[in-house]
Copies of this chain bind each other. A is one copy, B any other.
Amino acid sequence: MAEDKRSFRPVSGNVMPRFAGIATFMRLPHVEDWTDVEIGLIGVPWDGGTTNRAGARHGPRQIRDQSTLMRNVHHVSRIQPFEAANCADLGDVPVNPIDLFETLKRVEEFYGKVKAAGILPITAGGDHLISLPIMRAIAKDAPVGMVHFDAHNDTWDRYFGDHHYTHGTPFRRAIEDGVLDPKRTIQIGIRGSLYGEQDYEWGIEQGIRMVTIEELYDLGIDAVIAEARAIAGDGPTYISFDVDGLDPVYAPGTGTPEIGGFTTHEAQKMIRGLQGLNIVGADVVEVSPPFDPSGMTALVGATMMYEILCVMADNLAKRR
């Protein structure tokens, strides 16, 4: 496979400056033939589940742009993700900006093909509702566990009366559908005023371990990550990283900012702490470029994708 891998290497910054060239995820080839791809970077440019400030539909393009700053070797773990696994940009899912149900279906179908091709997906959202159809596709045989970074637990039930699908409901739906195992799920960074006292209850009753930002700081990063590892165990696990889990100074470009979150440095440390888990997919969601013209939120999103990629690629290499 050595030769195949060459065809999946990023364009070097010594051949084409990093700000130049057509922007693909991490300067990887954009492939239409998925053969030999092991980890696929995918965009889901959709925000139709957003109840407050839309804009995450523009996330994948700006994340691609900023991701061209990513280089070959992780400076702490020394993982070389593009050597460890065949990585490629699979393009965007052809979503429909004005139809929620059609888009849920289109995303699920796309990821059904990704799964069928044996590819592990890392997704750039899009709003958080997109995690639902991804899980429906990749966990249709067996539920996944989840390490979930977020300010919100996203297990609300309904909106505006009887609407079941928004970016605040994906994980209740996923649990109901049997594609997410609440007992193997941990949510980290939860905070912000609540609609009602019951906002946290349902998830906890299902068995989710919910760690508020206050508890995160009281217990410490290391203890929480140890707990996350124990909860996820050996089973297939999904990482869902909502950038609003970060303090909004790190991610102003998002739809529902909540002040008082964790730092990027802490997030990086937490993701690195997941090395060795059986990560079968991941997403970085709620990057909303119109609310951050500087592009820094997208750089944060791209770097989080890179951190996750290193963990996943290393895992693949070690299991090979």
Residues of A within 8 A of B (CB): 13-24, 30, 43, 45, 47-55, 57-58, 60-61, 64-65, 69-76, 78, 80, 89, 91-92, 94-100, 102, 159-161, 163, 165-166, 190-197, 199-200, 212-214, 217, 247-250, 252, 256-257, 259-261, 263-265, 268-269, 290-294, 296, 299-300, 303, 306
Contacts and interface: CB of A to CB of B under 8 A. Distances in A.
Contacts of A98: 48-51, 100, 159-160, 163, 165-166
B249 A193 contact: no
Contacts of A291: 290, 294
A268 B259 CA distance: 9
Contacts of A52: 17-19, 69, 97
**Number of identical protomers:** 6
Nearest to A98: B166
Given A22-B89, A71-B195, 16 more contacts: A13-B195, A17-B52, A18-B52, A21-B92, A22-B30, A48-B98, A51-B97, A75-B191, A75-B192, A96-B163, A102-B160, A213-B265, A217-B265, A248-B296, A250-B259, A292-B294
A216 to B, nearest CB: 10
A250 B249 CA distance: 6
Nearest to A56: B54
Dominant secondary structure at the A interface: loop
A75 B19 contact: no
A259 B248 contact: no
B51 A54 contact: no
Given A17-B45, A196-B73, A22 B252 contact: no
Specify which of A89, A98, A212 lies most central, judged by the most chain B CB atoms within 10 Å of its CB.
Answer: A98
Contacts of A195: 13-14, 71-73
B263 A268 contact: no
A167 to B, nearest CB: 9
B14 A74 contact: no
Contact of A92 (B20, B45, B212, B213): B20
